[in-house]
């Protein structure tokens, strides 16, 4: 081996092979321009950072590791991109994503600090800046990746590089340049596409594009390659024949070639393990929705159909991704435009409509819901969530929203089979907010410093720091990728942000399965947790009967009742093997506190009691009296009410509303 050190350590040490029989075409080697053997690629770090701790021992160990991993076949890792043919340089060409187009055009030329960046595309445009460029394109025969070749510095070296690949660059460039001599004296860009394979037997896996510009413009280049000559007056004339040109005299400047990012490449760069694009529907393009959709688009998660009927107003700019020039335009359309502009791949859609009153857009919304892998409600509207819960056909639904003070993020998500619908998960979330001590102030800490942004009564907004929105929205975007990769379970998660120190604490609630019952006037959803609570309390009280009150929520517009929890008997209750009389000690303050902490959602929905072993879970005469009492006292309030009887093998229930019995049902204990 030979090691080359630079006098002032301005570059990393170079490591060269000295063996005559050192294997050529090894990956992670360079053909040295000096001819002093193969240069080993042992560095991938930034030299300014690396040299701060590079000792002689560390250098020797780095070289030893290169040989060890090469011998084991581990140096080029599985999944790593194929080795380039030649290294890159300073000026930059930006190509479209995917397979290079057969015909490219310079769409824009940008000059900065003496360096050019050319944006190429498959369509022609005149907005190229002040410098004219002319593209020569050639595709060579497929090549097997191997050692890194030295960058050609002359047209002669480029000819020597491409000849083994089946391309006579001298002839093809000459034929091309003759047709352009009458045009502008532009700067030539030679664009060479090299199909790459991992082995001779493999299919083409990738395309490498290399690019060069001669150090002279087109007119002078045509003379140097022997295709033209100048008259005494300076005009160009085409030569029909002549001496072989000296291509080694024509210097080349290289271009760095970079592809634009499509969704598949965005997934690679973002660490997103998904193998395909997902179809997503977003309801609401506000604070959390606009950020989550933008973030997931950058991660290549898929395409969004944005549903929103609102327009962008000035105060929205503080916490949304839209910009000042979009004020007054529909949020859905501005969000779609922003999403399609992030990557070199579009496909997002906008539906300007309120999902609850969509008018002529109903068919478009229904189609989007039916085709989606996931519909995400960002609106924080229980009514919208109820609509999505009932939507058929529809894929699974998730909901992401902030609590009233903007410090907590809430995620609700159905599983792939929608075994627990999103409104049922929402009901369990409200129960957790009302009963879990860590969430005691989650819904009860709304800010009072409202700001008025216009003159109408409802034109109010809350101060909300952008950094909080972005922090919690980033977590939300990451969770969507997790949800899409794992459809086996429902989710109810919260993240609580402390604005004083930035600490974020997660909190999770296990989603209870439910049993659903379609009655005459109401649909009843009973959580397994509620049934399990009744059964546990029944067993503890045996041989006596026991009971208590039922907690739940309801949606009168959809005629849905959620029975979520069964409370134990108050301490002043009377119990025996043949009867139960519920007491009331401390019960009302307890239920009122839950009601308050759940933002008025969780409330008293009826009574439950147990029957002892050997007695059917069906109402006795006394039980009928209890239901009549419920009917007489709750009926005037307009609320639904329920009576449950927990027996040994099943639980029986009856629901009433609006002066009549909606229906009865049973829940088999063996079933769940």
Give catalytic residue positions: 545
Residue 160: φ, ψ to 5°:
-65, -35
Distance CA 382, CA 553 (A): 12
Distance CA 370, CA 5 (A): 64
**What count of Cα atoms within 13 Å lies in the side-chain half-sphere of residue 556?**
9
Residue 406: φ, ψ to 5°:
75, 15
Four-point Cα dihedral 259, 265, 270, 271, nearest 10: -140
Distance CA 351, CA 21 (A): 67
Structure tokens at 245: 């040109």
**What count of Cα atoms within 13 Å lies in the side-chain half-sphere of residue 631?**
15
Structure tokens at 186: 């532009």
CB burial readout 68-105, b (16+ within 10 A) else e: eebeeeebbeeeeebbbbbeebebbbbbbbeebeeebb
- Mutual orientation of helices 587-597 and 422-435 as an angle, nearest 10°? 120
CB burial readout 337-371, b (16+ within 10 A) else e: bbbbebbbbeebbbbbbbbeebeebeebbeebbee
- The answer to whether the CB of 601 falls within 8 A of the CB of 564 is no
Distance CA 664, CA 666 (A): 7
Distance CA 291, CA 594 (A): 33
Q: How, if at all, do strands 91-95 and 105-112 pair?
A: unpaired
Distance CA 181, CA 169 (A): 18
Point out which residues pair with 643 in neighbouring strands: 607, 654
Q: Please, which residues have CB within 8 angstroms of residue 72's CB and are 6 or more apart in sequence?
A: none
- The answer to whether the CB of 106 falls within 8 A of the CB of 119 is yes
Write down the residue that tokens 């929905």 correspond to. 605
- Nearest CA-CA partner of 492 in 434, 410, 592: 410
Distances (CA, A) of 469 to 40, 283, 284, 492, 506: 48, 17, 15, 20, 16
Point out which residues pair with 555 in neighbouring strands: 560
Distances (CA, A) of 578 to 178, 326, 548, 609, 620: 108, 71, 16, 12, 11
- The answer to whether the CB of 137 falls within 8 A of the CB of 104 is yes
Q: Helices (DSSP H) in 166-285: which residue ranges? A: 169-178, 218-224, 263-270
Structure tokens at 436: 């879990």
- Nearest CA-CA partner of 268 in 299, 305, 245: 299
Structure tokens at 246: 């000296």
Write down the residue that tokens 């480029």 correspond to. 158
């Amino acid at each position: 081996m030979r090691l080359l050190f630079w006098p002032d350590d301005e570059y990393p040490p170079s490591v060269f092979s000295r063996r005559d029989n050192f294997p050529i075409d090894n990956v992670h080697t360079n053909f040295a321009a000096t001819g002093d053997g193969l240069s080993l690629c042992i560095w991938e770090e930034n030299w300014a950072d690396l040299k701060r701790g590079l000792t002689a021992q560390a250098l020797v160990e780095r070289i030893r590791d290169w040989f060890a991993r090469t011998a084991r076949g581990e140096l080029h890792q599985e999944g790593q991109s194929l080795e380039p043919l030649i290294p890159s340089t300073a000026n930059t060409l930006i190509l479209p994503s995917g397979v290079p187009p057969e015909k490219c055009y310079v769409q824009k030329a940008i000059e900065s600090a003496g360096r050019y960046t050319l944006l190429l595309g498959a369509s022609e445009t005149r907005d190229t800046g002040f410098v004219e460029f002319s593209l020569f394109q050639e595709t060579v025969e497929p090549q097997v990746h191997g050692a890194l070749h030295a960058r050609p510095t002359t047209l002669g070296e480029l000819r020597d590089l491409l000849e083994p690949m089946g391309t006579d660059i001298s002839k093809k460039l000459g034929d091309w340049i003759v047709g352009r001599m009458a045009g502008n004296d532009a700067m030539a860009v030679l664009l060479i596409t090299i199909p790459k394979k991992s082995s001779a037997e493999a299919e083409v896996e990738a395309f490498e594009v290399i690019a060069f510009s001669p150090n002279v413009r087109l007119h002078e280049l045509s003379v140097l390659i022997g295709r033209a000559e100048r008259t005494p007056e300076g005009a160009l004339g085409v030569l029909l024949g002549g001496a072989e040109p000296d291509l080694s005299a024509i210097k080349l400047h290289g271009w760095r070639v970079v592809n634009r990012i499509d969704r598949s490449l965005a997934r690679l760069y973002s660490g997103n393990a998904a193998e395909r694009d997902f179809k997503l529907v977003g309801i609401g393009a506000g604070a959390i929705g606009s950020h989550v959709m933008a973030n997931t688009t950058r991660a290549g998660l898929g395409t969004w159909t944005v549903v929103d009927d609102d327009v962008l107003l000035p105060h929205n700019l503080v916490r949304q991704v839209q910009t000042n020039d979009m004020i007054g335009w529909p949020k859905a359309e501005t969000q779609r435009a922003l999403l399609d502009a992030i990557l070199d791949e579009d496909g997002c859609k906008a539906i300007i409509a309120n999902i609850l009153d969509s008018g002529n857009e109903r068919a478009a919304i229904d189609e989007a819901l039916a085709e989606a892998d996931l519909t995400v409600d960002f609106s924080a509207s229980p009514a919208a969530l109820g609509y999505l819960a009932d939507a058929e056909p529809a894929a699974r639904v998730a909901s992401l929203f902030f609590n009233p003070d903007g410090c907590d993020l809430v995620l609700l998500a159905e599983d792939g089979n929608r075994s627990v619908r999103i409104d049922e998960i929402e009901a369990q979330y409200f129960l957790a907010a009302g009963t879990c001590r860590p969430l005691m102030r989650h819904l009860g800490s709304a800010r009072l410093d409202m700001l008025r942004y216009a003159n109408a009564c409802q034109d109010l907004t809350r101060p909300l720091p952008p950094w909080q929105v972005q922090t919690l929205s980033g977590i939300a975007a990451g969770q969507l990728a997790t949800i899409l990769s794992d459809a086996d379970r429902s989710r109810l998660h919260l993240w609580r942000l402390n604005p004083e120190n930035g600490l974020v604490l997660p909190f999770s609630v296990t989603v209870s399965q439910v049993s659903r019952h379609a009655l005459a006037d109401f649909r009843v959803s009973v959580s397994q947790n509620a049934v399990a609570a009744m059964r546990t309390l029944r067993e503890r009280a045996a041989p006596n009967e026991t009971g208590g009150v039922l907690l739940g929520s309801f949606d009168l517009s959809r005629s849905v009742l959620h029975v979520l929890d069964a409370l134990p008997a108050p301490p002043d209750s009377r119990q025996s093997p043949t009867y139960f009389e519920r007491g009331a000690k401390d019960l009302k303050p307890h239920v009122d506190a839950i009601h308050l902490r759940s933002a008025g959602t969780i409330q008293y929905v009826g009574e439950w009691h147990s029957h002892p072993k050997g007695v059917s879970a069906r109402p006795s005469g006394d039980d009928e009296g209890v239901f009549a009492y419920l009917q007489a006292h709750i009926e005037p309030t307009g609320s639904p009410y329920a009576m449950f009887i927990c027996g040994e093998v099943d639980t029986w229930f009856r629901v009433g509303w609006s002066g009549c019995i909606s229906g009865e049902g049973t829940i088999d204990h063996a079933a769940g």
